[in-house]
Chains A and B, each alone.
Chain A
Amino acid sequence: MSETESGSAGPSTTTGEIEAALSAADLEWRAVGADDDAFTVAGVRPAYVCAPASVDEVAATVKAASAAGRAVIPRGAGTRMSLGFPPRAADLVLQTTGLNEIVEYEPADLTVTVQAGMTLGAIQERLRAEGQMLALDPPAAETATIGGLIAANASGPLRLMYGTARDIVIGTRVVNADGIVSKAGGRVVKNVAGYDLNKLYVGSLGTVGVIVELSFKLHPLPANEGMVVAAFKTAADAAKPIAALMRSPLGPAAIEVLDAGAAASLPDGLAVDGDGVVLVVSAQGFEKAIQRQLRDIQALCDQATGVQSIREGETLTSVWAALRSYSDPSAADLALLKLAVPPARGTVALATAHTAAQEAGFMPQTGAHAGSGVVYLRLQPDTWTTGALANLAALVTRLRGFARGEGGSLVLEACPLAALQGEAGIDPWGDAGSGFPVMRSLKENLDPKGTLNPGRFVGRL
């Protein structure tokens, strides 16, 4: 089934009914042509695309689709549509890019409320003018919408210092599956009133509500920055300084490890080969503290070669670009595996993924948020032959077994569509554990008709 399928012919209504419902609600929508694959979701072409301009219009759209028994696929800028199973149905793609305003920004409160369709890049630009930032640095931040990033729970190297979406989202407004609009949390940084549904929506892939507005806790932009880059013969050699750093009071902003494949995108002179790895440690804050950190970090890297500090300029910028590219899921014909293990096992996971990928015939690019135990394995063969697809499936099984053995998990964040299809199709999420019945019950209570992203989440919820 490599050909594009057309949107499911939902059993409950004819297409006329949803058209009538959308038109009755005075919404702008358009039918998707037979040769238009711009909005196709994992091979399923939607019948309609709608880009509401307000929260009320999003609500009306979802309500109309739900009433007509139709499936809605929420979409931001489309940078992470590769995540999850192919949808069971995709009648209407609901694009949030029309919701692109800052709702409230009071710099003195270090909080901001934005509409979900704003790009993270545009938000950061506004905050930067006040010396502040949203502490989230996932790949493709310039183009990705904030709603999509939160729904996909995307993160980047700075998660070591600032945490992930769950740590900075303080309020969420969503359109629920039947079109009602509700909020959780609020606009203050400390708040325990009501259930913390922010946590439910983060990473839920739009399956229990369409995120339309988000409030965040902000951070001051760091005054200064510095970086230590060091090459090691093996990942195991890098483990020692990382362990020492994690127990130290130095508080680095990021600890990243790249294998030879991922390090190839580093600026000239920083690459390694074979089983070598590059360790990158970022220090941010007051100048005096950075000088101390860089000195101490360098001392910890006594078994490394080519240790250097980078303070500013183009090199710093291009190292950051490399650190944010290895986990970018938005390229075509890419397989991207994300392993999460207890942090101290991060370098072991990196080496295991690197070696296993080589043994499976791939040229791996492997990078790790090593202080967080999150490892990305990126595979981009020239062509995805049947053999390569089979090798990918075997690799996912093997590495998932490894990750689970370590007490962690593996998610396949992107892959060629064919890898998900057929009898031997890969489960991109894996087993959700003993909590799965609760997850199913949540989905059934919050979206009983299966309106939102049906079939795409864990266990095909």
Chain B
Amino acid sequence: MAHGTVERGIAGEVVKSALVEELERALGADAVLWRPYDLMLYEYDGSIDKSRAQAVVFPRSARDVSAIIKACNARGVPYTARGAGTGLSGGAIPSQGGVLISFARMNRILDIDLANLRATVEPGLVNLRLSQAVAHEKLLYVPDPSSQKACTIGGNVGENSGGPHTLRYGVTTNHTLGLEFVLPDGEIVETGGSALEYPGYDLTGLYVGSEGTLGMATKVICRLVPMAESVKTLLVVFPTIAAASTAVGGIISRRIIPAALEMMDNLCIQAVESKAKVGFPLDAEAVLIVEVEGLAEEIESMAEEIDAVCRGYDALDIRIAKDEAERARVWAARKGAFGAIGAITPDYYTVDGVVPRSKLPEVLAEIGEISKRSGQRIANVFHAGDGNLHPLILFDEDVPGETERTIEAGADIMRLCAESGGSLSGEHGIGMEKKDLMPLIFSEDDVEIMQRVKRALDPAGYCNPDKLFPTPGRCLEMFARKGSAVGW
């Protein structure tokens, strides 16, 4: 236990470390968990890895966070931020132990500024709560990860999260206007604000997506936008994956940027339909969910165009959700797709990668080949409009060899994304999971410049260590750590 804060007494009983006592004095005893039994709940996020902190603390303010960080620094103990723990790349896992800072108690909406379309929130606020809080004003907060019922705004900021509706409106960074965050030296800084320009480097933009390695956000100024007047959701059935993925490019080339453009393949359709009857045809090789938004006058034109384009690519059937209830069912099915897959396989591994839109047909065909080669079934459900793939590799960790084959298939898909000019992650982050794959798309010099930025903010290196940067001397390894495959 390199950074132990829990110590054993003479009789082997667990006793509080000096750091835990200090944290309790600073924040109150009800703000600190330190018994091993309590800590076990915080070992995981939504990814593969796990690691136990030696204390979990629950700050209520930026000053609390500052006090925690200063106490950690004084003892040379690392610390890691945690929102809801829904992350898929290990960003919230205390991989070197130390203190886990949970933002569960910093979950308030501090201000809603209707005139300026801004909301100031604490990082522990659940994403969906913000849109719910402004829905009666016909406003919304755009980034809508599939986990939005659980994930937090602070976690979204850390990972620069996306979601289906970011095709047209952008991801978290495009909707984050300012931050208060606690630096790794414990100082509290404010960046950005309600105005759109401030002199100096764009620290807000630099912080978003830094995976909790440059400090701890304690306040987030979010952009709100008016809801669209009209929405039309089309469900388009295709005979082949190739036809569906070619149609994606066809739609975009017609000067239409849909609000969302999602694809599901047959395996995924089967899984979804076995869970809830949405009406996806079971024999379809692929469906596209295309949502267009705007003024009533223009979505008619857009829907007509999309209809024409899809028929040109051999669409078998085009259905338009006839009311809000039907539209909600389609989206519930899409956002629940991962869960549905979970019901048809003992374990699955979610891969997050990006390819240029024009490469989708060949990349999806190659993923089919990877599935055949590995012998593992792969389901595809993803943000087709921006080329953000989410192949789900199905496996059973109790069957010898399947875990290894899954790992290999995942790495093959990552190589495929890199070779096609894409990226290792569209919205889940690098974290622990993919850090050793970074050399696939970044040179040593690229990484060195990122390291200089890290050192500029966190010279001591206690702020969420062991994330994002490749391990020196280790290369192109993914998930092949300690054989752990629990909780995928």
Contact = CB atoms under 8 A, between A and B. Distances in A.
A373 B196 contact: yes
Contacts of A166: 173-174, 202, 205
Nearest to B198: A409
Contact of B442 (A167, A194, A199, A209): A194
Interface string B112-133: 0111111000000000000000
A192 interface: yes
B294 to A, nearest CB: 7
Interface residues on A, range: 35 or more
B358 A192 contact: no
Contacts of A176: 445, 449
Given A186-B441, A373-B196, A444-B456, A203 B116 contact: no
Interface stretch (A30-38, A303-311, A335-343): A335-343
Nearest to B213: A195
B206 A196 contact: yes
Interface in B287-339: 294-295, 297-298, 300-302
Contacts of A189: 357, 386-387
B424 A188 contact: no
A183 B446 contact: yes
B37 interface: no
Interface in A194-234: 194-200, 202-204, 208-209, 219-223
A432 interface: yes
Interface in A273-310: 285-286, 288-289, 291-293
A395 interface: no
Given A246-B226, A441-B456, 5 more contacts: A190-B387, A190-B388, A338-B197, A340-B195, A411-B197
A24 interface: no
Interface string A161-189: 00110110000000010001111101111
A316 to B, nearest CB: 20
B253 A108 contact: yes
B196 A204 contact: no
Interface of B: 113-118, 138, 159-160, 162, 166, 170-171, 173-174, 183, 187-191, 193-206, 208-210, 226-229, 249, 252-253, 255-257, 294-295, 297-298, 300-302, 354-358, 383, 386-388, 421-430, 434, 438, 441-443, 445-450, 452-457, 468
A381 interface: no
Nearest to B449: A182
Contacts of A186: 421-423, 441
B419 to A, nearest CB: 13
A81 B354 CA distance: 38
A342 B388 CA distance: 34
Contacts of A183: 442-443, 446
Given A106-B356, A184-B446, A408-B193, A193 B206 contact: no
Given A199-B205, A200-B205, A446-B452, A187 B199 contact: no
Interface stretch (A3-11, A248-256, A260-268, A382-390): A248-256
Nearest to A186: B423
Contacts of A441: 456-457
A292 B434 CA distance: 49
A188 B205 contact: no
A343 B116 contact: yes
Given A200-B453, A441-B457, A446-B449, A192 B198 contact: no
A108 B201 CA distance: 33
A192 B426 contact: yes
Contact of A110 (B357, B423, B450): B357
A439 interface: yes
Nearest to A291: B297
B356 A187 contact: yes
Contacts of A208: 201
6 contacts: A109-B387, A191-B354, A195-B210, A199-B206, A219-B257, A439-B200
Contact of A220 (B255, B387, B430): B255
